[in-house]
Amino acid sequence: MSESFQLRVNDVEYPLSVDQGRNLLGVIRTEIGLTGTKEGCDDCECGACMVLIDGQPVNSCSYLAVQAQGREITTVEGLAEGDELDRLQRNLLEVGGVQCGFCTPGMLMSATALLAEHDDPSDDEIRIGLSGNLCRCTGYARIIEAVRRTADGA
C-alpha cells in the first residue's frame, strides 16, 4: 500500500506516493529524478548512495524513504550554487581525486558532513570520515588531499 508524504530535498518539497518499503535511494533517483546519488552495492557497504539527512551522512540504499519525511535531505546536486561548484567539488577535480567518478557523489557527501563538524580535521579524522566510502580507482590519497585543501581554505 502506498504512503503519501513529502520529502524535502535540496530545499525543495516533493509530494510523493510510494510504498512504505521503498528505500530513499530509489525514491530520490526514480521518483524525484535526481540521479547524482549512485547505487553501488545496495547493501550498506560501499557508500556510493550517501546523502545527508539533517546534515549527517546516511546510506540511502538502506534507509526507508518514508522515514526521511520532515527532515532536510541533501544530495550531491545540492552542493553547487548554480553553475558554481563548491570548494570541495572544485578541489577534488583540481587534485585529480576523480577517476571513474562513481564513488564521487558519496565521497562528497561524507566529506561535506566531516568538514561541517571539523573545520581542521587531522588526516586520521579524514580517513575515518570517509571510511564508509569505497573507491576502486584513486587509492584515496588524492581524495584525502582534496578534503585537506578544502579545510585549509583553498
Partner 1 sequence: MSFTIANTIDDVLTALAAGARPIAGGTDLVVGARQGKAPLPADLVALDRVDELRTIGPEPGGGIRIGAGVTHATLVHDATVVGAATSIADASALVGSPATRHVGTLGGNVMNGSPAMDTGAPLMVLDAAAELRSLRGTRRLTMTELWTGPGSTAAEPDELCTALVLPAESDRSGSAYVRLEYRRAMEIAVVGAAAAVTLADDGTIARLAVALAAVAPTIVAVDVSAMIGHRVDDNVLAAVALAASDTATPIDDLRASADYRRHTVGVMARRAVDAAVRRAGGEPIGVPVNRSIGIGVAS
Phi, psi of 78 (to 5 degrees): -90, 0
| Helix (H) / strand (E) containing 7 | strand 2-9
Residue 26 or residue 85: which is nearer to partner 1 going by CB?
A: 26
Give the burial class of 141: count Cβ atoms within 10 A of its Cβ; 0-12 exposed, 13-18 middle, 19 or more buried: exposed
Residue 59 or residue 104: which is nearer to partner 1 going by CB?
A: 59
Residue 14 or residue 90: which is nearer to partner 1 going by CB?
A: 14
d(CA 54, CA 74): 8
Task: Pick left, alpha or beta for residue 80 (phi over 0 → left; psi -120 to 50 → alpha; otherwise beta).
Answer: beta
> Helix, strand, or coil here: 152?
coil
d(CA 42, CA 7): 21
Residue 45 or residue 96: which is nearer to partner 1 going by CB?
A: 45
| Site of interaction with partner 1 (CB under 8 A) | 1, 3, 20-21, 23, 42-45, 47, 50, 56-59, 61-64, 66-67, 69-70, 110, 113-114, 124, 127-129, 131-133
d(CA 9, CA 78): 8
Residue 21 or residue 101: which is nearer to partner 1 going by CB?
A: 21
Least Å distance, CB 49 to partner 1, is 9
> How long a stretch of residues is the chain?
154
